[in-house]
C-alpha cells in the first residue's frame, strides 16, 4: 500500500490541512495510508507531503457545514492525532456518509465533538481571564498594554480579533508560550512566542480593580467548588483579583453573621427627576462643564459603560441628533462610529456635508441594551427615559448654537419636541417649538440598514436628498441664538 507523510506547520495549520486534504481525498489516499506530522518532529517517515498549499490547489471539496465547522475547531486542539482524526472523518463523508457529523453516537464523531467543546471553552476562558497591564508608550506615543496567557490549545489567532475589536484605541500585545499577537490601532500581526517576564508584574489600575472585585464579593454565596469551576486555579496567577480571594473567603463567615444581625433597610428608590434637578442646579457654564456633569452621572437607562458625548465644533452650521449610542459607540466613547454611523458618514460625503464641521450627538447619552448570550442587543428607550435626558440635550444644543438641527428618527423628534410624531408625516423642514434654531426631520440611518436589499437603494436616495435639503437650509443666512455667541 502506497503511503505518504504530510508535514504541517506547528500549531493550528488550517490552510495546510485544507490544501493537503484537497489532494489526498481525490487521490484515494485513505487515513491508514497517511501519517500527519507537525513541524520538525523527527519523524522516521519520509517527508513527501510538505508544500501542498504552495503548489497547484487540488479540486474543491464540498463538505457538510457541520464537518467544516468541526475542522476549523479541531485544528486548534493540541492533540497530535487531530489531523488524522479529521482525515478519517472527511474520508468517511466522501465515501457516502454525508450525515456522519450528525451521528452523536459514532465514536469518532463523539471524540471530535468533545475536542471541539474543549477548544470553545479555552476560547471563552481566554476572553474572560486575560488581563492587560500598562507597558509604557506605543507607536506615536499611544498607550501600550501587554498581557500573558497560557492557552490549553492553539487558539491565539482565533482569539486575537476579539481583543482588537474590544480595545481598538490603544496598542497591545498578547504573549503566549506558542506565539504572540500585536495590535497597533490599525493592523493585527502575529509573532514568535513570548515570555512571562516580558509583561509587567502589575500596574496602577489593578489596585482599583481588586478593590472593586472585593466590594462585589457576596460572602453569603461563597462556593469554592463553583468558583474553581468557573475560574480554574491554573489561571489564578495571572489574575490580580485572585490575591484577594483567600482573605475574602476567610472573612465570609463573619461578614454573613454581620449581615444577618443588621436590621433590614428599605431599598432606596431611584428618582431620575430628582437626580436631574440636582444636575441642573450645578448650572454648567460651558459645554466642557456640561460634559463633565454627564460623565459623572449615573446612566438613566439600564446598561452602558460610559456616557457618549456629542462631537463637533461649537457654532457648527448643522447639528445631527440621533436616538442613542450603539454597541460600538459605547465601547469607543464616540457617536456614530458603528454600522449606522458609517452609513451616515458615507451619506454625508455624498451629500457634500463635511462631518468634521457638523455636530453629532444623541438624544439619550447612554447605550440601553439587553444581553443575549454574549451579544449586547439595542433596546429602544422609553418616552420617560428620553424625557430624562432632555435637559442635557437642550443645554448641549444651546452651547453649540447651530443654525439647523436635523432629527434622525422618531426618538430624536420626541426629544426635541416632547411629542411623538410619525416620521412619514414630519419628514422635511420642521419647527421644534420655541428653539433658537431651524429644524429638519429625516429617518435614522439604522432604518436603512434594516430594509431588505431591494428597497434599500430607493430609501437611501431619499435620505441623501433629505441631507442635501438640510445642508442648503443650514447655509441660509439668519440669526443664530445661543450660548456660543
What are the pLDDT digits (tens) for 291-319?
988 888 878 787 777 899 999 999 999 99
pLDDT at 266: 45
Instruction: Please tell me the predicted confidence (pLDDT) of residue 446.
Output: 93
Mean pLDDT confidence for 184-189: 91
**Is the domain of 251 the same as that of 311?**
no
> Does 352 lie in the same domain as 313?
yes
Shared domain for 191 and 313, answered yes or no, is no
Instruction: Answer whether 318's CB lies under 8 Å from 353's CB.
Output: yes
Counted residue by residue, the chain has a size of: 485
Taking residues 421-438, report their average pLDDT.
89
97, part of any domain: yes
Helix (H) or strand (E) holding 355: none
Q: Residues 169-191: what's their mean pLDDT?
A: 92
Domain range for 8 is 4-125
Contact 119, 82 (CB under 8 A): no
Tens digits of residue pLDDT in 112-143:
999 999 999 999 999 988 888 888 776 666 78
Q: Is residue 267 in a domain?
A: no
Q: Are residues 186 and 219 in the same domain?
A: no
More confident residue, 29 or 55: 29
- Using CA atoms of 60, 66, 70, 72 in order, give the dihedral in degrees to the nearest 10: 50
Q: Is the pLDDT of residue 323 over 90?
A: yes
330 and 464 part of one domain:
yes
Do residue 192 and residue 246 come from a single domain? no
Domain holding 276: CATH number? 3.40.470.10
Largest CA distance in the chain: 91
- Number of helices followed by number of strands (H, E) in the chain: 18, 14
User: Lowest mean pLDDT: which of 51-60, 293-302, 371-380?
Assistant: 51-60
Confidence of residue 480 (pLDDT cuts 50, 70, 90): very low
Give the tens place of pLDDT for each residue, 212-242. Answer: 566 666 776 667 676 666 666 666 666 666 6
- C-alpha 151/C-alpha 291 separation (Å) is 42
In a domain, 484, yes or no: no
Mean pLDDT across the stretch 438-443? 95
**CB distance 53 to 9 below 8 Å:** no
Q: Does 480 reside within a domain? A: no
Judge whether residue 53 has pLDDT over 50: no
The reply to whether 77 and 172 lie within a common domain is: no
Short-list 256, 398, 253, 374, CA closest to 315: 398
Set of cell numbers at residue 365: 447619552
Q: Is 485 inside any structural domain? A: no
Query: What whole-number distance in Å separates Cα of residue 329 and Cα of residue 323?
Result: 12
186 and 209 belong to one structural domain: no
Q: Are residues 186 and 295 in the same domain?
A: no
Give the Cα-Cα-Cα angle 187, 189, 191 (nearest 5 degrees). 160
Is 269 a residue whose pLDDT tops 60?
A: no
| 187/217 same-domain check | no
Q: Provide the Cα torsion 259, 260, 262, 265; round to 10°.
A: 90
Across 93-97, 410-414, 423-427, least confident range: 423-427
Domain endpoint, select from 91, 125, 159:
125
For residue 168, pLDDT over 50 is answered with yes
Last residue within a domain, chosen from 93, 125, 157: 125
What pLDDT score does 268 carry?
Answer: 44
Residue with cell 489532494: 23
Residue 408: which H helix or E strand, with range? Answer: strand 404-408
pTM: 0.49
Q: Can you tell me the distance from the alpha carbon of 371 to that of 302, in angstroms, rounded to the nearest whole number?
A: 11
Least confident of 22-26, 31-35, 406-410, 477-481: 477-481
β-strands 438-442, 428-430 pairing: antiparallel
How far is the C-alpha of 301 from the C-alpha of 382, rounded, in Å?
9
In a domain, 266, yes or no: no
Which H or E run includes 130?
A: none
3-state secondary structure at position 172: strand
Grid cell locating 362: 444623541
H or E segment at 5? strand 4-8
| Number of structural domains found in the chain | 4
Indicate the pLDDT class of residue 193, thresholds 50, 70 and 90.
very high
> Taking Cα atoms as reference points, which of 446, 409, 412 lies closest to residue 329?
446
Instruction: Identify the pLDDT of residue 449.
Output: 92
Among the candidates 236, 261, 286, a domain finishes at 261
pLDDT band at 479 (very low <50, low <70, confident <90, very high): very low
Residues 141 and 186 in one domain: yes
Q: What percent of the chain has pLDDT over 70?
A: 79
Amino acid at each position: 500500500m502506497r503511503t505518504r507523510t504530510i508535514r504541517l506547520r506547528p500549531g493550528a495549520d488550517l490552510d495546510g490541512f485544507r490544501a493537503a486534504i484537497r489532494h489526498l481525498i481525490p487521490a484515494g489516499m485513505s487515513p491508514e495510508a497517511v501519517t500527519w506530522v507537525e513541524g520538525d518532529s523527527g519523524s522516521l517517515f519520509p517527508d513527501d507531503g510538505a508544500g501542498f498549499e504552495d503548489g497547484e490547489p487540488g479540486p474543491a471539496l464540498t463538505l457538510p457545514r457541520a464537518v467544516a465547522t468541526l475542522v476549523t475547531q479541531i485544528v486548534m486542539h493540541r492533540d497530535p492525532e487531530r489531523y488524522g482524526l479529521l482525515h478519517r472523518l472527511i474520508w468517511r463523508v466522501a465515501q457516502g456518509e454525508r450525515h456522519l457529523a450528525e451521528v452523536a453516537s459514532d465514536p469518532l464523531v463523539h471524540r471530535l465533538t468533545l475536542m471541539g467543546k474543549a477548544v470553545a471553552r479555552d476560547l471563552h476562558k481566554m476572553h474572560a481571564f486575560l488581563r492587560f497591564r500598562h507597558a509604557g508608550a506605543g507607536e506615536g506615543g499611544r498607550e501600550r498594554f501587554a498581557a500573558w496567557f497560557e492557552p490549553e490549545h492553539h487558539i491565539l489567532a482565533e482569539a486575537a480579533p476579539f481583543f482588537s475589536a474590544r480595545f481598538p484605541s490603544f496598542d497591545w500585545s498578547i504573549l503566549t508560550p506558542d506565539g504572540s499577537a500585536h495590535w497597533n490601532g490599525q493592523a493585527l500581526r502575529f509573532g514568535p512566542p513570548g515570555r512571562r517576564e516580558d509583561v509587567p508584574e502589575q500596574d496602577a489600575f489593578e489596585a482599583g480593580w481588586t478593590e472593586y472585585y472585593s466590594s462585589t464579593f457576596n460572602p453569603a454565596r461563597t462556593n469554592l467548588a463553583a468558583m474553581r469551576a468557573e475560574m480554574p486555579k491554573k489561571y489564578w496567577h495571572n489574575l490580580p483579583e485572585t490575591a484577594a480571594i483567600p482573605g475574602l473567603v476567610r472573612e465570609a463567615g463573619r461578614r454573613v453573621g454581620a449581615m444577618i444581625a443588621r436590621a433590614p433597610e428599605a431599598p432606596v428608590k431611584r428618582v431620575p427627576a430628582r437626580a436631574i434637578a440636582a444636575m441642573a442646579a450645578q448650572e454648567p457654564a460651558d459645554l466642557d462643564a456640561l460634559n463633565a456633569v454627564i460623565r459623572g452621572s449615573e446612566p438613566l437607562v439600564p446598561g452602558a459603560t460610559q456616557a457618549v458625548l456629542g462631537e463637533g465644533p461649537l457654532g457648527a452650521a448643522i447639528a445631527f441628533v440621533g436616538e442613542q449610542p450603539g454597541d460600538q459607540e459605547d465601547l469607543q466613547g464616540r457617536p456614530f462610529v458603528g454600522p449606522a454611523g458609517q452609513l451616515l458618514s458615507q451619506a454625508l460625503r455624498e451629500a457634500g456635508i463635511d462631518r468634521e464641521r457638523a455636530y453629532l450627538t444623541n438624544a439619550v447619552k447612554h447605550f440601553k441594551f439587553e444581553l443575549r448570550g454574549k451579544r449586547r442587543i439595542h433596546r429602544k428607550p422609553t418616552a420617560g427615559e428620553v424625557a430624562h435626558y432632555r435637559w442635557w440635550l437642550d443645554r448641549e444644543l444651546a452651547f453649540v448654537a447651530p443654525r439647523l438641527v436635523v432629527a434622525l428618527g422618531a426618538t430624536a423628534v420626541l426629544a426635541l419636541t416632547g411629542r411623538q410624531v410619525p416620521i412619514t408625516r414630519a419628514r422635511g423642514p420642521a419647527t421644534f417649538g420655541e428653539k433658537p434654531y431651524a429644524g429638519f426631520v429625516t429617518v435614522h440611518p439604522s432604518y436603512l440598514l434594516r430594509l431588505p436589499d431591494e428597497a434599500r437603494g430607493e430609501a437611501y436616495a431619499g435620505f441623501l436628498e433629505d441631507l442635501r435639503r438640510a445642508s442648503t437650509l443650514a447655509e441660509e443666512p439668519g440669526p443664530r441664538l445661543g450660548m456660543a455667541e
